[in-house]
């Protein structure tokens, strides 16, 4: 059984798809044509990658007239992030971060 | 000066549209997973405010632009000390199989808007916490690693 999470990891496990996400992070609301222009990929390849990203809910689209605009949806990535960093570990991570900051600031003096 | 782009967020939650609507509009619910209270009578044209869960000061304020429970809610959105930096947030709720799809669009930013900066960090946290809250009954510690409780999504 392929879970939603499997789809997210699979979608992220490809540098071309990560580049598409980078592009959408920098500028949301791009059309397929605009996404093709900024990548060294065929239109077919971009379409296929966007399909996998959409299936993983990492890219969402909105219609504007006849155009389909693509946006990065970071919610699934945040869910992965919180799964391994929240709750009991969070306090320790924050403590480590505070310690690091205090030590680094101490060094500057 | 540039005009910030729209931000679009989508999440799928195992719940009902009615429960999700309540989770967005009931101040006691929003305090659970957001840390802050959303307060209004939620009628089109009414005022609404996003209030700090503990000390009660207003973080965000605006009008209810559109209210169609439990399907669509549109709010105007501004910090009380910078009302000119107005933007708009829409919540669209639809049923997808045994899940409910929530689409949040934060957009219509003014040129040079300062509001957009906090949006990126804020909404994914709020939506993840909302999903966890509705599905498990326990919210995430939304702002755990984000410094003091802030209006970031907001």
Q: Which residues of A25-37 are buried (b: 16+ CB within 10 A; e: fewer)?
A: eeebbbebeebbe
A-chain residues within 8 Å CB-CB of B12? 4, 57
Please indicate if any CB of chain A lies within 8 Å of the CB of B66.
Answer: no
Task: Pick the more confident residue, B31 or A59.
Answer: A59
Please indicate if any CB of chain A lies within 8 Å of the CB of B12.
Answer: yes
| Mean pLDDT for back-to-back runs of 10 residues, chain B (154 residues) | 82 93 93 91 97 90 97 96 94 94 93 78 85 82 54 42
Q: How many Å apart are CA B12 and CA B67, to the nearest integer?
A: 21
Residues paired with residue B50 on neighbouring β-strands, in sequence order: B38, B60
- Specify the residue for token string 């219509």: B108
CB contact under 8 A, A90 and B141: yes
Given this model, what pLDDT does residue B1 score? 57
CB contact under 8 A, A90 and B145: yes
Residue B145 makes CB contacts below 8 A (sequence gap 6+) with: A85, A90, A93, A94, A97
Q: What H or E segment, with its residue span, contains residue B19?
A: helix B17-25
Name the residue among A27, A29, A79 with its Cβ closest to that of B128.
Answer: A79
Q: How many Å apart are CA A73 and CA A12, to the nearest integer?
A: 13
Could you tell me the end-to-end alpha-carbon distance of chain A, in angstroms, rounded to an integer? 56
Given this model, what pLDDT does residue A108 score? 55
Domain boundaries, chain A: 4-73, 77-108
Query: A71, A28 in Cβ contact below 8 A?
Result: yes
Please indicate if any CB of chain A lies within 8 Å of the CB of B65.
Answer: no
| pLDDT value at A72 more than 60 | yes
Give the CATH architecture of domain A4-73. Orthogonal Bundle (1.10)
Other CB atoms within 10 A of residue B117 CB: 11
Given this model, what pLDDT does residue B150 score? 43
Question: Phi and psi (nearest 5°) for B129?
Answer: -65, -40
CB contact under 8 A, B145 and A94: yes
Q: What CATH class does B7-136 carry?
A: alpha beta
Q: Please report which confidence band the pLDDT of residue A64 belongs to, taking 50, 70 and 90 as the band edges.
A: confident
Two structure tokens written together for B93 = 């709720």
């Amino acid at each position: 059984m392929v879970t939603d999470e499997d789809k997210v990891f699979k979608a992220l496990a490809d540098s071309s798809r990560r580049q598409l996400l980078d592009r959408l992070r920098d500028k949301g609301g791009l059309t397929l044509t605009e996404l093709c222009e900024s990548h060294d990929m065929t239109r077919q390849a971009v379409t296929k990658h966007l399909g996998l990203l959409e299936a993983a809910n990492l890219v969402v689209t909105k219609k504007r007239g006849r155009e389909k605009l693509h946006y990065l949806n970071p919610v699934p990535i945040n869910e992965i992030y919180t799964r391994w960093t929240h709750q009991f570990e969070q306090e320790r991570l924050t403590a480590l971060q505070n310690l690091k900051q205090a030590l680094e600031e101490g060094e500057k003096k | 000066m540039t005009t910030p782009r729209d931000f679009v967020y989508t999440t799928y939650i195992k719940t009902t549209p009615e429960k999700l609507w309540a989770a967005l509009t009931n101040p006691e619910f929003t305090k659970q997973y957001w840390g802050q209270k959303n307060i209004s009578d939620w009628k089109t044209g009414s005022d609404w405010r996003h209030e700090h869960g503990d000390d009660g000061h207003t973080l965000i304020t605006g009008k209810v632009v559109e209210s169609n429970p439990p399907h669509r809610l549109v709010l105007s959105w501004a910090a009380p000390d910078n009302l000119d930096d107005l933007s708009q947030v829409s919540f669209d709720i639809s049923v997808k199989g045994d899940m409910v799809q929530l689409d949040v669009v934060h957009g219509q930013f003014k040129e040079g808007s300062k509001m957009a900066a906090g949006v990126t960090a804020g909404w994914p946290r709020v939506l993840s916490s909302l999903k966890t809250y509705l599905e498990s009954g326990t919210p995430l510690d939304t702002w755990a690693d984000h410094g003091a409780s802030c209006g970031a999504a907001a």
